[in-house]
Each structure stands twice: as C-alpha cells, then as structure tokens.
Structure 1
Amino acid sequence: MSPLNRRRLLAGSALAAFAATAPRNAGASASAYPTPHQHPSALAVADGFASVNALGLNGTTGGAGGQAVTVTTADALADYVGRKEPYVITVSGRVQVGDDMLTVVANKTILGVGSSSEITGGGLQLGSTTRPGNNVIIRNLRFTDASDDSISVTNKAHHVWIDHCDLSRGYDGLLDVKRESDYVTISWNHFHDHSKAALLGHSDTYTADRGKLRVTYHHNFFDRTDQRHPRVRFGEPVHVYNNYYRGNALYGVASTEDAGVVVEGNYFENVAKPILSGYDKSGPGRVVERNNAYVNSGAPQTLGTVVEPRTYYAYALDPASSVPSLVTAGAGVGRV
C-alpha cells in the first residue's frame, strides 16, 4: 500500500471516531466539528514528535474529554484558552484580537470552521513562565496581520500539534518554537506573504534549548516566504520531510549552533540556497539530507551525523516528486 493510501485509511477511520465521540456543547451547531473523509491529508490524531509518549503525556490530545464551546469574539477566545480546564474551542468567523498575544494554557484544542475562521491582528502564545502551554492542538485556522508572532510555542511548552493552518502577513515570526519547548508537530500548513516563517530556537546564546526542540515539520507549503523554514538552533533531532519549498528568496532550511536536522523527501523549487549549515552570525549545525528534489535550485550543504527520527516514531515518506501536488491540494484551511 502506498504512503498516500495508508494516510487515507488512517484519516477515514480516525476522523470517523473523532466525529462520533467529540463532546458537543448545548446549542453548538454540528457544523462546528470535523466530519470524516474530507481530505486524505486530514488526520484526527497527531503524528511526528507530537505523538511521542514522553514527559508524562501519551502523545498530544489537546482538550479531548473537555467541554466543547464555540467562540466568535476575542474576549471569549481569550477567556477559554486561558482557563485551567480542558476545552475543545471552535472559532467561528473572523476574530479581531487587536495587538495582543493570547496566552493558551494546557489541554486545549482550538479549531476553525470550514475555510472562513480567522484570527487577525494578534496571535496565540502557548504558555507563560507560570502557566504551561502543554498538550495543545491548533487546527484549521487562518492567521493574518499579527502584531508579533502569529503563533509562539514557548516557555517549555511540550506536546503541541499545529495542523492545516494558513499563516501570512505577520510582524515577526509566523510560527516560532523556542525557550525549551519540545515534542511538537507542524503539519500541512500554508505559509505565505511574509519573510520569517518558522524559527526554532530562541537565540545563539540561549543554550538551555540544547537537548530540547524536537520538532517535526511535514507537508507544509513554504510559498515564497523568504527564510526560516525552519532556522534551527541547538535542537536534535529536528525532522523536516515532504515539505514544498517554492521561491524562497534567502534560503530554505538552516541548521545552526550544533543543531541536528534531518531533511528528506522535500521538493525545492527556485530556491538558490535550499539547505544551509550555519547562517549569518550563527555557527554551523549538523544536517543530513536525502531523497530531496532540487528543481532550478542550488546545492545543499550537509555536515556530520544526526540522531534518526525513527528512533522516536514511525513515518511513511512520500516520494519527493509527488510533494508539490500533495501539498498544494492538502495544505492550509478547509481540508479538515
């Protein structure tokens, strides 16, 4: 069975189970919840590093088992994402957040409806120094015009799954993971109309990130964003597979400060510097590359050895040649 057919089989069975068991709030519409068989890329359970049993969690379940609510305003969203109890929060329509980063605390699932749910003007920060943002799922949401990061996974947040989102026109990073965060999966997202896409690691001097930042990036569409797809410091292993890179002006992936990154099965199109070891003032990182496609693109830089992601989880690699069609058809909102 091909990797895509295996994904279809898992998607259908898992989504059917989710639709049957998801709690519903009195008065909430059924259309606020995912239905099965919408797209073969739509998995109902986290994969990659977010699926790993570690740090007291058995994978990433978000707000499963908690109350389900639907929000239409920034005040309601801020209220529910900050509550200590688990919640499944459906965002309906366009929510104007203002200039704030809303703090999301542990055990939350945040879902968009169809292709019209949007958070604009501000962003989501997973965790604070006193309130951890562990076990959080964000899916099927559009993020635009953030005053800072669109999504920031920070302050030791772990077990986070960000899936099928559309991120553009932010101020700083579209989706950053930093400050000792760990066990994160970033999958099937569309990044566009921005420069700094996905930072991984706070700074060259924040050595506390060493031994953390285990993140999987797969089936994302880095669509003419300039840089950081991701830019990695210290983390190992970081797994970057089956992503579609198109027209990235500065570079694709950069491994720096002795990070360990496995880059495989990706499709680089019109990317002069697809893979770098070291960037700007940051020292070199280790990179293993394999089975990538380089179309009208430069040669990759590699260095050293990296811990294999398969020591943590199993995965099925799609052929690099199929990545543009798979990712453009499946990434972004409206597919779950």
Structure 2
Amino acid sequence: MLATTCIVLLALLLPSRLPLRAGATTATAAALNLTLPGQHPSPELVAQEVHRKVNASLTRRQLLQISEKDESSSCYTGNPIDDCWKCDPNWPNNRQRLADCAIGFGQYALGGKNGEFYIVTDDSDDDAVNPKLGTLRYAVIQPQPLWIVFPANMLIKLSQELIFNSYKTLDGRGANVHIVGGGCITLQYISNVIIHNIHIHHCYPSGNTMVRSSPTHYGYRTKSDGDGISIFGSKDIWIDHCSLSHCKDGLIDAVMGSTGITISNNYFSHHDEVMLLGHSDNYWPDSGMQVTIAFNHFGEKLVQRMPRCRLGYIHVVNNDFTQWEMYAIGGSGNPTINSQGNRYTAPYDRNAKEVTKRVETSESEWRGWNWRSEGDILVNGAFFVTSGQGLEVKYEKAYSVEPKSAALIDQLTWHAGPLGVGGRDNNLGMWTTGPNGNGGGFGLGSGMDYTDDMSESCFVRAFSVLLSFCWGLVVVIAFVL
C-alpha cells in the first residue's frame, strides 16, 4: 500500500511530466521526457551494444573453429550470454559468474550476486504466511541477497503467489525445476532479480487470502491474474533460459512503470496472450519502460502478444517466431518497436500473415509510430508493416530466407528454454551447504507427476527435427519414383 500511495502522490505532484488525464493525446505522450529509476538515457546505444556483443561472440566462434589447436572451440555457440559462462568447465563452482552475462536493458540485474547460497531442500508450499526453512518461498522473501539453487529435480506446486524480495537469483542449472500452481511468480516494487533455467507453467489465479512478502510483513492479497511471471513497478530484471506455457493469463507481464528488463533464451509455447508490456495506453510512467527480447523461441500453439506493447522502447532481436495464430507483435499507445534480425514464420492461414498489429488504433494515428524492421527474415508469406521513419511494408524475399541469416537464427536460439543434458549434471559444485543447513532431506515426496510440454533436451528436439526431415525426404522420393 505504501508503494502504491507514493506512485499516486508522485503523479499528482508532477502533472507537467505525468499527464494522467484520460483524454491525453498521442502527441502529448510523445512529448514526455519521463525518466524512471533504472531507465537508460539512450536506448539506441543499448540496442547497438547488443549487436556488438552478438557479433563479437560469433566472430570468436568462427576464429576458434578455424584453429584446431583450441579444444574449447566446440563450446562457443555465438550466443553472447551462454558463451559468457557455459564454456567454463568449472561453472558449478563459479555460479555467480552468470550475473555478469546479461545483455540489453536488464544487464544491470545483480540478482543474488555476492550473497549466500540458499539450497531449496523442501519442495512443499503449504503455508504462504509462515513458510518453512528450506522451501523456495522462505528464500525469496528474505531481505538479503541470496543465490538460490536446487540439489535435485523438483516440482513446486504453489499454493499462492510467490512474492519476491529484491536481490534474488533462481538458478535452476543442475536440476529440472518446475514451478506450477497458484499465482506463480510476482515481482512487485522490487529490483535485481534473475530467474534462470526454470520451467514455469500451468499457473492459475489465486489470492483473497494472506501472503507473506518479507520476514516482517504479510498482508491480504486480492485475486491474482494467473500470470507465469508478473513484473509490477520493478526494475533490473533478467529472465533467461526458462520455458513458459499453459498459464491462465500472460506468460510474462510487465506493467506499472517497470523497466530495465531482459527476456532472453526462453521457450514459449501453448498459450494465447503470451506477453504484455505496459499497463494502459494512458499510464505515462510506462513510457519509460525499456525491454530487450533476445534469442527466444516462440514455439507451437501461440496465438498473440509476442509481445503486445504499450508506450516504452521494446528491442526485439534475434528471436525465432513460429506460426502464430493471430499476430506476433502488437501494440497501442505509440510504443517504439525495434525489430532486428528475427525470423518470422507465418501460419498457413492466409488471414494471419501479418507480423504486426496496431490494436484498436486508426492508421491516421499509428502511421507516425516508430516501428522498425531491420534484417528480419520473413517466411511463408509473413509481412511486417513498419511505420514512422522509413515507412514501408516488408514482405518475404523470393526464396523466403537468406541462408546465412537463417543459420545465425538457428545458432543463436538452438538452446532456447531450460538447458539440456549438458547443463543438467546435478552438480552443485562446492556449494553443498548454505544458510539453511546442510542440504539434506530434499523433500521430493510429491514426485514429478506434472511435466511441461517443452521440457525435453535440445538433443530430443534435434532428433525430432531430423526425423521429420527424413520422413519428408522419403515422401518426396516415393513421389518421384
């Protein structure tokens, strides 16, 4: 309540900078120079830095492939985030190195860096007000920085929203960790959170009850939306190598002045409204929202909102979009959308080929919005309607894809989602103890009876693709003969 009151008072005290009246025009919104805590003063420079880091990683990989003397050459993928930590054979003993590997607007997210290691030894979530030592809920509400790890595969069925405190890292490397159930993850008025290598799915509304948010406070929570991850008035957030699917509302929503966010290397599937960025068209604090969406795979059975943007600056770079049902990227309220180096594969529905959608807005209004497409690959009739500077409609090229660019997309997004066999060696390294005891008694009584559709390793995924290709080749040969 106190944080909400402060935001309302700020809006009232600064009417010239936060014109919250309902009838405010697009021109008024464009004239704002709102600065949020955590907002970068030059988003274009951040976008350029992302490309610089990608190019540096790709160049390093190419040079190492040429040099047969370097045994580490097979490790580097060209993905700057993974190459930052994964090529260290001793990464289980250097886990907090991950906090130095983010790119884009969420690159300053510290998570639990320099904090103690907390080992989740109990997968239960029976009491949202008085969580037990060893549970995940007990860890995330603590005030101090914590690097939270899992000693074994776990299915954590939440009873209520999992409300985080600042400076936390969920590090699922070394285990197959699923979070499901009531409310799922809530990041509200906090900062510096890293969520890495976690399956988040089958989240549904919860609430109308008491939930603890810190060791010294618990309060009444109204009914939640059922998001996978809800980011509310928060900054410096990094979500990496997770899979998200089958939630009641959004898979990831960021609203109410949230900024400094990177969403990278994730696998999204089986969902309608995937990602919402921005509370409403007239909530001007969201004009300071800055989000990087990089190296993600938007997979099967997704309908819309990849993302759906209001206000702010959204950098969508090097993602693979596969056959949406309505549209891929939508928006209203004049957001800046910078789409670079993505592959958009349209569905077979001839009425759903357009990548973009201006939601409930006339062309005379959205014509001036800055929606750019640079180096994108448009497949199966996909087309991207740009606006603002360099207005044009970008259609697929004659043979759908440019081989070199397509290879880069495959390379950069190949390991999207929780890491496969190579990352799941169940090795916590030297961190066998933590502030919650000796790590004994893993509390796995509930068993892994709830699985995510996209939980298979990259090897299984590769085998599936290869099998499909071979079957297609058999059909072609049979037809020719």
Q: 8 Å contact 2:332–2:360 — kept in the other structure?
A: no
Q: What is the aligned partner in structure 1 of residue 276 from structure 2?
A: 199
1:50-90 CA deviation, whole Å, 9 max, x = no partner?
12xxxxxxx12110111111213234211211111100112
Q: 8 Å contact 1:257–1:278 — kept in the other structure?
A: no
Q: What is the aligned partner in structure 2 of residue 290 from structure 1?
A: 374
Q: Equivalents in 2 of 1:136, 1:43: separation in Å?
A: 10
Unaligned runs of 5+ in 1: 24-33, 35-41, 52-58, 307-317
2:202 equivalent to 1:145:
yes
Alignment of 1:75-224 (within 5 A): 75=131, 76-91=135-150, 92=152, 93-98=154-159, 100-114=160-174, 116-122=176-182, 123-127=184-188, 132-147=189-204, 148-155=226-233, 157-210=234-287, 212-224=288-300
Q: Equivalents in 2 of 1:288, 1:67: separation in Å?
A: 43
Q: 8 Å contact 1:242–1:320 — kept in the other structure?
A: no
Q: What is the aligned partner in structure 1 of residue 444 from structure 2?
A: none
Cα distance change, pair 249–68 in 1 and its aligned pair in 2 (3 A) = same
2:114 to 44, 65, 74: 65
Cα offset, 1:43, TM superposition: 8.8
Cα offset, 1:319, TM superposition: 5.9
Alpha-carbon RMSD? 2.7
Q: 8 Å contact 1:266–1:323 — kept in the other structure?
A: no
Q: Equivalents in 2 of 1:138, 1:319: separation in Å?
A: 32
Q: Equivalents in 1 of 2:342, 2:84: separation in Å?
A: 27
2:339 equivalent to 1:263:
yes
1:248-275 CA deviation, whole Å, 9 max, x = no partner?
0110112321100100111011243443
Q: Equivalents in 2 of 1:184, 1:172: separation in Å?
A: 20
2:103 equivalent to 1:47:
yes
Q: What is the aligned partner in structure 1 of residue 356 from structure 2?
A: 276
Instruction: For residue 285 of structure 2, give the secondary structure of its aligned residue in structure 1.
Output: helix
Q: Equivalents in 2 of 1:170, 1:218: separation in Å?
A: 22
Q: What is the aligned partner in structure 2 of residue 330 from structure 1?
A: 415
Q: Equivalents in 2 of 1:268, 1:13: separation in Å?
A: 27
Q: Equivalents in 1 of 2:284, 2:257: separation in Å?
A: 9
Q: What is the aligned partner in structure 2 of residue 29 from structure 1?
A: none
Cα distance change, pair 273–200 in 1 and its aligned pair in 2 (3 A) = farther
Q: Equivalents in 2 of 1:193, 1:22: separation in Å?
A: 31
Cα offset, 1:305, TM superposition: 4.1
Q: 8 Å contact 1:115–1:333 — kept in the other structure?
A: no
Cα offset, 1:44, TM superposition: 5.7
The structure whose Rg is larger is 2
Q: What is the aligned partner in structure 1 of residue 317 from structure 2?
A: 241
Q: What is the aligned partner in structure 1 of residue 35 from structure 2?
A: none
Q: 8 Å contact 1:243–1:323 — kept in the other structure?
A: no
Cα offset, 1:229, TM superposition: 0.7
Cα offset, 1:167, TM superposition: 0.3
Cα distance change, pair 62–137 in 1 and its aligned pair in 2 (3 A) = same
Q: What is the aligned partner in structure 1 of residue 442 from structure 2?
A: none
Cα distance change, pair 226–174 in 1 and its aligned pair in 2 (3 A) = same
Instruction: For residue 325 of structure 1, give the secondary structure of its aligned residue in structure 2.
Output: helix
Q: Count residues with an aligned counterpart.
A: 293
Q: 8 Å contact 2:249–2:273 — kept in the other structure?
A: yes
Letter in 2 for 1:120: V
Letter in 1 for 2:156: V
1:151-205 CA deviation, whole Å, 9 max, x = no partner?
01112x1111100000010000001111101111000000001111111111223
Cα distance change, pair 201–6 in 1 and its aligned pair in 2 (3 A) = farther
Q: 8 Å contact 1:231–1:254 — kept in the other structure?
A: yes
Cα distance change, pair 330–4 in 1 and its aligned pair in 2 (3 A) = farther
Q: 8 Å contact 1:221–1:327 — kept in the other structure?
A: no
Q: 8 Å contact 1:277–1:287 — kept in the other structure?
A: no
Cα distance change, pair 164–140 in 1 and its aligned pair in 2 (3 A) = same
Letter in 1 for 2:104: G
Cα distance change, pair 277–302 in 1 and its aligned pair in 2 (3 A) = farther
Q: Equivalents in 2 of 1:297, 1:78: separation in Å?
A: 47
Q: Equivalents in 1 of 2:331, 2:325: separation in Å?
A: 17
